Amino acid sequence: MLKHLRWTFVAMAALGPASGARAADSPEGTPVTDPATLASFGFAPGTVLYMAAGANEENPGPQNYGGADPIMVTYLGNQFQGRISSYSYDTPTGQGDVSFLGGDTFADAQLHLPSGAIWENTRFWVNDAIAADIGLFAFQTCLPVAGPGNPVPTGLGTGSSTGTTGNQSIVIAAPAGTVIDNNACSYWVRVRFGAAGHVLQKARVQYRLQVSPAPATASFPVDVPTTHPFFRFVEAMARSGLTGGCGPGTFCPDTPVTRGQLSVFLSVALGLHFPN
């Protein structure tokens, strides 16, 4: 049943962004209204859930920013918490994996990723030697930055174990250009156990850091205008508080940097701190 629902979600995501009264306060994506699909994802009937366009695409495409190697963060099975208190599990090897025993079949883990990073994919390690499959999901949930409002969840990808082959490794690709916005959203992954004896070993999240896109106006229009080849990078330093330039509207991009200036750049960029 899960595989049918998974492909239904992908097909729905291809229909386009949500429209109507809620379009202004929802992310781009397709609303999911089918009660069976909502239930399979762990949501109550009537929940307003969106599926992001491009979720589950195998190739998220090239990135415009952030060419460094990807960064990976691991969440062990015992870091997942049951959706409700009836969730019960065992720890078969004592190495962070969990074997589902009974109660609520869903367990979640909140992700802690840096703002501005690009979430690329999540890989799950599971053990499935039972006829039922293990469901795997990735979500974001957003609220207004400062004002009141209802949480708006968006599915960023789904997957499942396949067959009864035992140890399996499954990748869920995030939609291309999924940028972490900790001001408005939280990010999390979910597992749905199909039967007692299913094992969740760990989940690994892959992301890349990136330099912010260039703004429309220049902080140093005298010598680093918007057409300057280093404009985006100079602006990133200025907006981060690393530099205030060398004079009104000037950055002096060709002036050598002293050791004292270098100490400011590095200590502020790295957030260096030591006890008093």
pLDDT digits (tens, 9 = 90+) for 61-104: 444 344 567 889 999 999 999 999 999 999 988 889 999 999 99
pLDDT value of residue 7: 33
User: What confidence score (pLDDT) does residue 20 get?
Assistant: 34
Q: Kindly write down the DSSP assignment for every residue of the chain, as one continuous string.
A: -HHHHHHHHHHHHTT-S--STTGGGS-SSEEE--HHHHHHTT--TT--EEE-TTTT-S-----SS--SPPEEEEEEGGG-EESSTT-EEE-SSSSS-EEEEES--EEEEEE---TTPEEEEEEEEEEE-SSSPPEEEEEEEE--SSS----EEEEEEEEE--TT-EEEEEEEEPPTT-B--TTTEEEEEEEE--STT-EEEEEEEEEE--PPPP-SS-SBTTTB-TTSTTHHHHHHHHHTTS---SBTTB--TTSPPPHHHHHHHHHHHHT-----
**Cβ neighbours around 274 below 10 Å, total:** 4
pTM for this one? Answer: 0.74
Q: Read off the pLDDT of residues 104-143 as tens digits, 9 standing for 90 and up.
A: 999 999 999 988 899 999 999 999 999 999 999 999 999 9
Q: Of 46-55, 57-66, 231-240, where does the model show the most confidence?
A: 231-240
Half-sphere exposure of residue 64: CA atoms within 13 angstroms, side-chain side: 9
**Mean pLDDT over all residues of the chain?**
84
Domains of the chain, CATH where assigned: 2-208 (2.60.120.260), 211-276 (no CATH)
Q: Which of 97-106, 198-207, 241-250 has the lowest mean pLDDT?
A: 241-250
The 10s digit of each residue's pLDDT in 193-202 is 999 999 999 9
- Over residues 13-39, the pLDDT tens digits come to 333 333 333 333 445 678 888 888 888
Residue 6 has what pLDDT? 36
Q: What is the mean pLDDT of residues 203-228?
A: 92
- pLDDT of 1 higher than 60: no
